[in-house]
């Protein structure tokens, strides 16, 4: 794992909106660490991030993707709509909260090929997803509030792919990685393939986490290296067999 130099978002003196300037600065800090941007380029990068569609209310009801597999039971709560059950083939939308029950799992595939695999008792919101067949113009922003989710990146530009948790912002570089969020917000990151730049929200130094490495990020203090591997999730364990069965049925 490579530690990266810390950066500062500075004080902007602006009130927070639904997608706050504070949140924007945290995501900007993570992307800055991932891209190694310094000097005047910071201003341009922050401006571009504030113009991301993800920092504005969703303008389209078009689905971002669909449900590929469900284990036990899963729920979705779209923006301004009531919570309801999710089933195979159901659409999922931007700003929809996805939830699973104890021992459950939910596999979602987005239009660019990005995959979200929620494990047991998990909660994830797709804050933003923009993709029209051009990776350079795409964006993905998701927040993991509880439980575990495995992400497999698709065609969206890596610089615009961000996952946030209560204690960290994560920017992958073409990869597969799993994120666990404990009750106190502590985030465990396990990178299966590629690299993920992890930036603590506490202000501690960010770090590049490589394939096979596991780190833990608490609300305070530096990133903990060589963190223990989390116990296998009961929901995620059954997801591969569900997907194989679905593939066989489609042949």
pLDDT in tens, the chain (251 residues): 666 554 433 332 323 334 444 454 445 455 555 555 433 444 344 434 444 444 444 444 689 999 999 999 999 999 888 999 999 999 999 999 999 999 999 999 999 999 999 999 999 999 999 887 765 668 999 999 999 999 999 988 877 899 999 999 999 987 899 999 999 999 999 999 999 999 999 999 999 999 999 999 999 999 999 999 998 888 776 555 555 555 455 44
What is the bridge-based pairing of β-strands 161-164 and 139-152? Answer: parallel
Pick the CATH number of 2-250 from 3.90.650.10, 1.10.357.10, 2.60.40.420, 2.60.120.1440: 2.60.120.1440
SS3 content of the chain, % helix, strand, coil (to 5): 20, 35, 45
pTM: 0.74
Q: What per-residue confidence (pLDDT) applies to 164?
A: 96
Question: DSSP states of 136-158 as a string?
Answer: GG-EEEEEEEEEEEEEE--SS-G
Q: Helix count (H) and strand count (E) of the chain?
A: 3, 17
DSSP-assigned letter for residue 224: B
């Amino acid at each position: 794992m490579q530690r990266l130099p810390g950066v500062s978002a500075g004080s902007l003196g602006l009130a927070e909106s639904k997608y706050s300037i504070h949140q924007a600065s945290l995501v900007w800090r993570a992307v800055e660490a991932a891209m190694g941007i310094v000097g005047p380029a910071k201003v341009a990068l922050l401006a571009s991030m504030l113009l991301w569609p993800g920092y504005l209310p969703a303008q389209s009801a078009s689905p971002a993707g669909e449900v590929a597999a469900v284990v036990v039971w899963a729920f979705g709560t779209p923006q301004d709509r009531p919570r309801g059950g999710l089933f195979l083939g159901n659409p999922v939308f931007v700003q929809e909260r996805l939830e699973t029950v104890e021992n459950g799992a939910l596999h979602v595939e987005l239009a660019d090929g990005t995959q979200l695999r929620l494990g047991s008792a998990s909660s994830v919101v797709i804050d933003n997803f923009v993709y029209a067949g051009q990776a350079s113009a795409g964006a993905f922003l998701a927040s993991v509030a509880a439980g575990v989710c495995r992400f497999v990146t698709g065609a969206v530009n890596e610089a615009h792919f961000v996952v946030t948790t209560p204690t960290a912002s994560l920017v992958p570089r073409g990869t597969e990685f799993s994120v666990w969020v404990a009750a106190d917000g502590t985030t465990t990151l396990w990178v299966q393939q590629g690299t993920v730049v992890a930036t603590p929200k506490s202000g501690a130094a960010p770090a590049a986490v490589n394939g096979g490495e596991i780190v833990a990020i608490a609300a305070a203090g530096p990133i903990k290296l060589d963190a223990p591997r989390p116990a296998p999730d009961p929901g995620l364990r059954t997801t591969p067999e569900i997907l194989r069965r679905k593939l066989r049925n489609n042949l």
